[in-house]
Amino acid sequence: MIVRRGLPVLFCCAAVLMAGCAQVGAPRPEAPDAVAADHAYRQGNFDAAARDFLALADAHPRDGAFYRLRAAEAYLQNGEIDAVARMLPDIRRRGLQGDEPVRYDLLAAEVALSRHDAAGALTRLHFADAGLAAPLRMRALELRARAQAAQGDALDSARTRADLDRLLGGNDRAQNEVQIVATLKSMNPEALRNEAAALQPGDPLRPWIDQALHANGGALPVVVLHPNQPVGTLIPQGAQPPQREGYAPARRIALLLPESGPLMAVAQPVRDGFFAAYFADDTGQRAPITVYDTGSTPADAVAAYRKAVADGADRIVGPLARDAVSAVFAQGNLPVPVLALNQPDGAQTPPPGSAAFGLSPDVEAAQAAERMLQQGITHAVVITATEDWAERAALAFRAQFESRNGQILGEARVTDGEVNYSTMIRQTLASVPTSASAPALPGAAPAATTTPAAPMDTGIFISMRPQQARLLLPQLKLAGYANLPVFATSHIYAGNYNPGLDRDLDGVQFCDAPWLFDATLGLPRHDDIVRALDSARGAGGRLFAMGMDAYRLLPYMDWLAQHPDSYLPGATGQLAEDRLGRVQRLLTWAQFDNGAAHPVAGGLQTSAAPQ
């Protein structure tokens, strides 16, 4: 009886890969009568190919081991794992050459896994795979990951699949990434966090663990960089003009942005900021810039990237949409490095030489947690909006705060259209004493005549738009929590001077782009730009600042990647690159006072931007 067992979905195209394996390394000359067998194999007629290869083994005894190996590979492609198992003892491994012994071991590992012998499979796979041709290496990694998972070693299995992911593309890659997250989710969340804590900050497994925790409502703490060396130090060149350390000018720049569709309004201030920095560049080494439309799909963005490469660009900025960034990065080792204007989806990291730069709410929330803890606040209440960015901020804040032994006392969400927060405030801050003689909110139970003051180690973290915050803050004060410090992400600030509305936000501290307060020397003044360009006004100012920073990062990308202690004093913050190719921002802290936002002491960035 013939038993056929399905192969892993990941390698549904394994026939193509295995056909390629026969050509890898130093191929042995095949007999002229092997043409029919090879043709049957390549056409997917594996049963006929197996019979022909067995006949060739009998006809050519000197190459018998090789042709029996080919027959076993054909049986595997036909789903006949028991036939493979029967054949392996008849293959003299010592008679194999080139990559053939590895192919034999891969077959043996397949058989061992089919018999639930994970340890035996791993023994067969105990060889270095880095030097193998891509098809063989993919098979080795996938088999190793399955064997590790079967042994209950979820972390090593996920790590192996993460290595495999960089070799895959298309649906195979997507299915592998689903498997990575599923493997990590099988672990206890607390055990997963403990494993992550032992990893180095640049370990490529960290983003995958973070994604697995997100699926269960958790997150990893952000590795907040604290670089101390600004880029661009002037180096004397004798009689020649001094050169800036790390500066590597581009020859031709491509800017990939959508020129239509829902992201066009976001792209406009980014584009304007990019060209503002270009025209302010007085180094005498400005490169020509070509703008390419990324359309409305990831495929359009990939086509724009390839067109830019074909046109001779040596530095490419963009695309802007997350799925477009993922599609460009998924091409693997890119011929021209990319500074993407967003983070990719999931746990994907930039290819070598490329980087991802975005205005991430996760980083802002993590820095808010760090600031609260630095000020002695070890207990926090979290109140955020319900949008995706606010949920991400809430998760990131909790992860960062609790990782430093902070305690979350309560957590709540406020929705658009909601105006009365009394019930939410009463329930969320139930464990926090109010200040004495606090008037009651409408609908609240009568307050005691005297209540203890709120503890000095307690604060509130919020992430919401200014309209919601202007409703929340007065109600918090009315409920008796006026003395609790409040910290926020940049979303609370509309980006313009509006004391009549923002007076209700007095006392709130928030992190934001220093350029909005002219806190980075050497950049065009914010107020001057706002008077000239509508795209830089209001919340668009942050995107405009991001565009300026994208241009100014280009000549320092390689330096920042190799020197994690270095930073670029940027419009959106002090910019440094972590070990995973992500540009991080160290932000400025500001506070509302009499309805106006001002940088606070210790939160003002005054480093000069290199020219």
The Cα-based distances of 205 to 40, 76, 125, 198, 363 in angstroms read 41, 32, 22, 11, 19
Looking at residue 13, its pLDDT comes to 39
Q: What is the pLDDT of residue 452?
A: 56
546 touches 558 (CB < 8 A): no
What type of residue sits at position 522?
G
pLDDT confidence bin for 454, thresholds 50/70/90 = low
- H-helix or E-strand containing 113? helix 100-114
Model confidence over 384-395: pLDDT tens digits?
A: 999 999 999 999
Degrees to nearest 5, angle at CA 229 with 225 and 230: 105
Lowest mean pLDDT: which of 28-42, 63-77, 262-276? 28-42
- The phi and psi torsions of 289 (rounded to 5 degrees) equal -120, 135
511-564 confidence digits (pLDDT tens): 999 999 998 888 999 999 999 999 999 999 999 999 999 999 999 999 999 999
Q: Does the global pTM surpass 0.75?
A: yes
- Range among 21-30, 415-424, 430-439 rated most confident: 415-424
pLDDT(114) > 80: yes
Confidence band (pLDDT; 50, 70, 90) for 605? low
Quick one: pLDDT at residue 215? 85
pLDDT tens, position by position, 456-484: 899 999 999 999 999 999 999 999 999 99
Helices (H), 334-419: 361-374, 388-403
Average pLDDT over residues 267-280: 97
Of 7-11, 438-442, 476-480, 518-522, give the lowest mean pLDDT range: 7-11
pLDDT band at 3 (very low <50, low <70, confident <90, very high): very low
Q: Which helix (H) or strand (E) holds 49?
A: helix 46-59
Q: Does the pLDDT value for residue 311 go beyond 50?
A: yes
Does pLDDT of 17 surpass 80? Answer: no
Q: Average pLDDT, whole number, for the chain?
A: 90
Measured from the Cβ of residue 232, the count of other Cβ atoms closer than 10 Å reads: 21
pLDDT of residue 240: 76
- Fold classification of 362-523+577-599 is Rossmann fold (3.40.50)
For residue 417, what are the contacts with CB-CB under 8 A and spacing of at least 6?
A: none
- CATH number of the structural domain 9-215: 1.25.40.10
Binning pLDDT at 50, 70 and 90, where does residue 21 land?
very low
Residue 14 pLDDT: 41
What percent of the chain is modeled with pLDDT above 70? Answer: 90
Model pLDDT for residues 481-501, shown as the tens digit of each residue: 999 999 999 999 999 999 999
Q: Across-strand partners of 339?
A: 317, 355
Q: How confident is the model at residue 272 (pLDDT cuts 50, 70, 90)?
A: very high
Span 242-267, average pLDDT: 94
Res 270 pLDDT > 70: yes
What does DSSP say about strands 588-593 and 486-488: parallel, antiparallel, or unpaired? unpaired
Domain boundaries, the chain: 9-215, 362-523+577-599
Report how far apart, in Å, the C-alpha atoms of 98 and of each of 23, 50, 148 are: 10, 21, 27
Q: Give the whole-number percent of the chain exceeding pLDDT 90.
A: 77
* 446, pLDDT greater than 70: no
H or E segment and range at residue 136: helix 134-150
Is residue 10 scored above 50 in pLDDT?
no
- Are 568 and 246 contacting, i.e. CB atoms less than 8 angstroms apart? no
* pLDDT score recorded for residue 18: 46
The per-residue pLDDT for range 126-168, each reduced to its tens digit, is: 999 989 999 999 999 999 999 999 999 999 999 999 999 988 8
DSSP sequence for 168-222? --HHHHHHHHHHHHHHHHTS-HHHHHHHHHTS-TT-TTHHHHHHHHHHTT--PPP
pLDDT band at 450 (very low <50, low <70, confident <90, very high): very low
CA quadruple 527, 529, 534, 537: dihedral sign: negative
Q: Where are the beta strands (DSSP E) in 215-368?
A: 229-230, 234-237, 240-244, 253-257, 289-293, 315-317, 338-340, 355-357
Q: Is the confidence at residue 351, as pLDDT, over 70?
A: yes
User: Mean pLDDT throughout 160-180?
Assistant: 91
- Max CA distance (Å), the chain: 103
